[in-house]
Structure formats: structure tokens, C-alpha cells
Chain A
Amino acid sequence: MRIKIKVFASIRDICGFSEKELIVSDSIRVNEVIDLFIKGNQELSDKKDNLLIAVNEEYCRMDRTLEDGDTLAIFPPVSGG
């Protein structure tokens, strides 16, 4: 199963990439993917409670199960305008 990960703004700076592909054999939930990235990254861990999540360009909950071909976006609170 292939999941495309996109990160933005301060989260991109912390992660050091803007896009990545995750290949997993079993089904996986959004919060499990987040935990993978947070592991060993204190700066990201500190921001965990404020992260916003979208799957296929729609906001979603952390417990959503991802499907093959999904795009998961992880980003900080928005600040447009």
C-alpha cells in the first residue's frame, strides 16, 4: 500500500522534506503515521497537539484508516489572509 505524505510550513522545516511516499504492508491509521514521524523528533513531538490533518485534500480525524493511493497532508494551524 502506498501513501503520499505532504508536509507544509513549519512542519516541513522540521521534517526536512515536503513530500514523501510511505509503503506499508498492512492498513494504517493517520495517528500511526504521525507517530512514525514523531519518533525521535522532539521538535515535532512538541507540536503534535496542534497539527492539522487532511486526507485527499479534506480535513479528517486522527483515527482515520488510510487506503492505497491516499495523500496525507500534515500541517500547522493555518494563517492566511
Chain B
Amino acid sequence: MKLVLTQKEKIDLNSVLNTDVSHSDGSDLIFIGKVRDTSRGKKVTYIDYEIYNEMAVKELNRIADEASANHETGRIVIIHRYGRVTLGETSILILVSSPHRDSSYQASRYIIDEIKKRVPIWKKEFYEDGSEWISDRS
């Protein structure tokens, strides 16, 4: 089972955990990415995520399919937010369920690493005294 979503709204973890549960899976591994309060010595107040949604959804689905093809997984859920995400809020949630934990750890790591390389989403950090596109660092 695969579920890929991009959304403006906050992510409801309990609802994700209860979606399409299979008793053949012996592990649920959850990765949560959050907005932290400092970035390179600056105090972050919130992040605006810009997204190229049509392409992002395609790439997220492709990454989930690759993770599923290369690891023994049951359920894969990827939810990425866009728009304004404030301090402490979840910006991304990755849930991987599998019969055994090793597959979940490997698949989850693969998914987040590939998202950071390929999925067209951009962070703009807002500070007390300005803002900056994070991709501008490169």
C-alpha cells in the first residue's frame, strides 16, 4: 500500500497510523521532519515551503515505488506540507511498515535522502530580521 500526499494542512499522525493497517507488518517506522528554531545562528520564526506540485507528486510516487521495489515493505506513506509551517510543526512525515525492522529503516532513509535531492520543494526561512531561500546557499 502506498499513499503520497502534499498538503497545506497540519499532518494528523494518528489518522496516518490507522490508514490501511496490515497485520502482516511487524513494524511501523515513522520519520518526522520539523521546523527548528535556529539556522546558522539565526532565529527562525517560520518556514514557507514552495512546491511545484504536479512534479513533486510524481517524484514522491516514484521514490516510494523505488523504496518498495528495493526493500521488503508493506505500507509506505509520505506526506509533505507546503505553505507556512511554524516552529515545531511537522513539515514531512514518512511512515514505512514492514514485516521486519531492517527493511523499514533502510527504506525510510532512502526516501528522505531522495526527497532532499529530487523533489521540487523549496524552503524559505523567515527570521526576526529577514528571510532567505535555502537553495540559495549552494
B positions within 8 Å CB-CB of A? 33, 49-52, 54-56, 58, 80, 91-92, 112, 115-124, 133-136, 138
Contact = CB atoms under 8 A, between A and B. Distances in A.
Interface size on A, as a range, is: 10 to 19
A77 interface: yes
A81 B115 contact: yes
Select the residue from A8, A50, A76, A80 with max chain B CB neighbours within 10 A.
Answer: A80
Contact of A79 (B54, B55, B123): B123
A73 interface: yes
A57 interface: yes
Given A6-B52, A57-B54, A78 B92 contact: no
Nearest to B80: A80
Contact of A75 (B33, B58, B122, B123): B122
